[in-house]
């Protein structure tokens, strides 16, 4: 453990990952400071999710290394796991369990008692829905539950993969408030998103990715003024081009 690595919540060096003919991640290096709200932006297929999964320790990079809180995330690191919270893209819920049972199950896997798990449910405004099964929840409720499950063990670093995709504007804004509060409590938050307004509102810094590479990293306002455009969306389009992506 070096001092410089520990100064960052996350540091990734020269990550590469290839799937068959596709170089999904092509030399990504990035650092996230402790307590920072960090966004990874990019069109579909840019390598955002793969980059995040390598950092989380879900995948082994072909090259490079990733550290969270000074600990290498690959191979699977039991000391690190309780300190990070991950919300996966698809809602990873146990089948036919109610919201309360879901969060209690996840809590129990981390050694968290039922009472604390229920408190987390309450914090995300799901107490009323505690007895409802996962497949009966609305999109916003399911998304909130999925984040609540990722946070039940009070992790220091939180990863969220497109947390607001598919939500209506009200549910999105509600979730933004929750995410801001998480960050204010001192947690480091990393999220991927397609929504530039979301990144502009929430993130201290963003990394714009395309073709497996990081194109630019800076605060949203700094990028806007650097490129002389009006919004983060314009930054995004001028960096990644306007052609349609699959």
Partner 1 sequence: MKAFLTLSKTMTLGLLRDRAAVFFMLIFPLMFLVLFGALFKDTSAPQVKVVQVGDVAVFDDIPAEQREQLRDVMVVDKTDGSRAALNQALADVRKGDADGVIYAPETAGKSAGSGPTEQVELRVSGADSAKAGSVRSVVDSVLQQANQKATGQPPAYALATDRVEDESVKQIQFLTPGLLGWAVAMGAVFGTAYNLVAWRKKRILRRLWLAPVGAGSVVSARVGVNLGLALVQTAIFLGIAVLPYYGLKLSGDWWLCLPLVVTGTLAFMSIGLVVGALAKSEEAANGMAQLIVLPMAFLSGSFFPLDLAPAWVRTLSDFLPLKHLSDAMQGVLSRGESWGTALPVMGGLLLFAAVLTLIAGKLFRWEAV
Site for partner 1 (CB under 8 A): how many residues? 26
| Least gap, CB of 86 to partner 1 (angstroms) | 5
For the window 31-70, what string marks contact with partner 1 as x by the rule CB under 8 A? -------------------------xxx------------
What are the tokens at 89? 């893209």
Window contacting partner 1 (CB under 8 A); options: 36-44, 97-105, 199-207, 211-219: 97-105
CA separation for the pair 61, 193 (Å, rounded):
22
- The strand ranges marked E within the chain are 8-19, 22-33, 37-41, 63-68, 71-72, 84-87, 157-161, 188-193, 205-210, 213-218
1, 4, 7, 109: residue in contact with partner 1 (rule CB under 8 A): 109
CA separation for the pair 163, 166 (Å, rounded):
9
Q: Does 96 bind partner 1 (CB under 8 A)?
A: yes
Q: Does 166 bind partner 1 (CB under 8 A)?
A: no
4, 60, 76, 241: residue in contact with partner 1 (rule CB under 8 A): 76
Instruction: For residue 166, give the DSSP letter.
Output: T
Q: Does 130 bind partner 1 (CB under 8 A)?
A: no
| Least gap, CB of 81 to partner 1 (angstroms) | 4
Contacts by 229-236 with C-beta closer than 8 Å and gap 24+?
231/196, 231/197, 231/200, 232/41, 232/196, 232/197, 232/199, 232/200, 232/206, 233/196, 233/197, 235/196, 235/208, 236/41, 236/196, 236/208
Instruction: For residue 133, give the DSSP letter.
Output: B
Window contacting partner 1 (CB under 8 A); options: 95-103, 115-123, 205-213, 230-238: 95-103
Instruction: For residue 136, give the DSSP letter.
Output: G
Q: How far is CA 148 from the centre of its chain?
A: 13
Window contacting partner 1 (CB under 8 A); options: 32-40, 73-81, 191-199, 215-223: 73-81
Q: Does 115 bind partner 1 (CB under 8 A)?
A: no
Instruction: Name the residue among 115, 57, 61 with its Cα closest to residue 86.
Output: 57
Residue 111 or 186 with smaller CB distance to partner 1:
111
Q: Does 239 bind partner 1 (CB under 8 A)?
A: no
Q: Does 114 bind partner 1 (CB under 8 A)?
A: no
Residues making up the chain, counted from first to last: 246
The sign of the dihedral angle between the CA atoms of 43, 89, 246, 213 is: positive
| Least gap, CB of 135 to partner 1 (angstroms) | 11
Residue 102 or 183 with smaller CB distance to partner 1:
102
Window contacting partner 1 (CB under 8 A); options: 10-18, 100-108, 206-214, 229-237: 100-108
Give the binding site for partner 1 (CB under 8 A).
Answer: 56-58, 76, 78, 81-82, 84, 86, 88-97, 101, 105-106, 108-111
């Amino acid at each position: 453990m070096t001092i410089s690595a520990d100064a960052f919540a996350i540091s990734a060096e020269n990550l590469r990952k290839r799937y068959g003919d596709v170089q999904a991640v092509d030399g990504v290096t990035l650092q996230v400071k402790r307590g920072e709200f960090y966004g990874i932006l990019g069109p579909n297929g840019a390598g955002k999710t793969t980059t995040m999964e390598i950092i989380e320790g879900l995948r082994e990079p072909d090259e490079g290394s990733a550290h969270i809180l000074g600990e290498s995330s690959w191979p699977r690191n039991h000391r690190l796991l309780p300190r990070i919270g991950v919300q996966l893209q698809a809602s990873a819920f146990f089948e036919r369990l109610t919201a309360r049972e879901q969060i209690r199950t996840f809590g129990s896997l981390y050694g968290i008692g039922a009472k604390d798990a229920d408190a987390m449910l309450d914090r995300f405004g799901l107490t009323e829905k505690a007895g409802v099964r996962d497949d009966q929840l609305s999109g916003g409720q399911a998304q909130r539950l999925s984040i609540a499950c990722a946070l039940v063990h009070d992790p220091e670093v939180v990863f969220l993969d497109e947390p607001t995709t598919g939500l209506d504007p009200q549910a999105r804004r509600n979730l933004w408030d929750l995410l801001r509060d998480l960050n204010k409590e001192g947690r480091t938050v990393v999220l991927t998103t397609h929504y530039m307004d979301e990144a502009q509102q929430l993130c201290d810094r963003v990394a714009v990715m395309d073709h497996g590479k990081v194109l630019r990293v800076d605060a949203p306002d700094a990028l806007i003024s650097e490129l002389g455009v009006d919004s983060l969306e314009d930054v995004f389009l001028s960096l990644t081009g306007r052609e349609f992506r699959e």
